[in-house]
Structure 1
């Protein structure tokens, strides 16, 4: 098998339709009912922290970070992280994760949250959120609610409901 030449770059506005089709293939219509999706409703993902993976001109992966409030702490919710099913198990998801987390660190973000499998995300430093500390807008298996502190102590300060990242005022 030949190695793929994969390019990871910032997501562009013109990528939106292709990424939506990718999400549809990967997650199906049930994606709209998930707690993490509900956090993203009506809030635009952060273009500084959202990336696509391409093989040639074909988008084969995407990761987005969207601003949220974790109690009174500004945070980012990661997701969806999506890889075209035919391109899975080639390191594309890991490459997207590393690039998004690097960008979040460079932008002085303090905390990244996600709902996912701890065995996969632990290699990037994610840990289970302590039970009862934060609440998502809908049911979620507490073992799948994960956090990564980019600033020491950020998770300890985050308490209460996780809500969409609209400005407070």
Structure 2
């Protein structure tokens, strides 16, 4: 058993694992609306496998953090879902997947990561709860479970903001794929 980069051929097996761990109703959650119609960030999605069997998964997705006070948009990563098959839960698989993903995100130059999850579990990796009403999720859901991590430990969240779905270029051409792969997402305004 080992961790490897997610391959296109793993997609159906990952979806089956996610259905087993979270149920099919998972796609109605607010975090899924941020992932709709986009692909996870290349080089930041991993699986824990035993030959061809997928036993765990972690993915990172591009989203924007809009600052309502300044109007700026900052690129951030949305972590999730993290899933491990029930027979391996509590054996360090999730921890290994998270550490692998965070190391790769840091290496690729990403600065902020958000997720919806259990604050006690994710605190060991440095994630902190977002203060109530500070950053909105789509439909206003899951605000009490919204967590963030600043990999630079140098900046803070906006005083008032929202997570906004990533919108790829209209063309869907190679430029989009290249930007997406390098973490340089095209959009009108970007805060540094």
Which TM-score applies when normalising by structure 1? 0.90
Q: Is the 8 A contact 1:118 1:143 kept in 2?
A: no
Where does the alignment leave 5 or more consecutive residues of structure 1 unmatched?
1-5
Aligned residue among 33, 36, 42 for 1:41: 36
Measure, in 2, the Cα distance between the counterparts of 1:159 and 1:168: 21
With 77-86 and 54-63 compared, the bigger mean Cα shift is at 54-63
> In structure 1, what is the equivalent of residue 165 of structure 2?
164
Q: CA deviation at 1:158?
A: 7.6
CA RMSD of aligned residues (A): 1.5
Task: Return the alpha-carbon distance in structure 1 between the equivalents of residues 24 and 13 of structure 2.
Answer: 16
Distance 1:94 1:148 in 2: 16
What is the alpha-carbon distance in structure 2 between the residues aligned to residue 153 and residue 131 of structure 1? 21
8 Å CA contact retained: 2:134, 2:158: no
Residues 102-128 of structure 1, C-alpha deviations (whole Å, 9 max, x = no match): 000001101000000000000000000
Structure showing the higher strand proportion among its residues = 1
Map Cα deviations across residues 46-82 of structure 1 (whole Å, 9 max, x no partner): 1211100012332100000000001111000000001
8 Å Cα contact 2:56/2:83 also seen in 1? yes
Give the C-alpha shift of residue 42 in structure 1.
1.0
Secondary structure of 1:80's counterpart equals: coil
Give 3-state SS (helix, strand or coil) of 1:152's partner. Answer: coil
Specify the alignment match of 1:67 in structure 2.
62
- What TM-score do you get using the length of structure 2 for normalisation? 0.80
Q: SS in structure 1 opposite 2:153?
A: coil
SS in 1 for 2:124: helix
**Matched position secondary structure for 1:47:** coil
Instruction: Give the match for residue 3 of structure 1.
Output: none
Pair 1:56 & 2:51 matched: yes
The answer to whether the 8 A contact 1:61-1:82 is kept is yes
Distance in 2 (alpha carbons) for counterparts of 1:92 and 1:111: 23
Aligned length: 164
CA apart distance, 1:131: 2.1
**Do structure 1's residue 114 and structure 2's residue 109 form an aligned pair?**
no
Question: Cα gap change, 1:25/1:161 in structure 2, threshold over 3 Å: closer, same or farther?
Answer: same
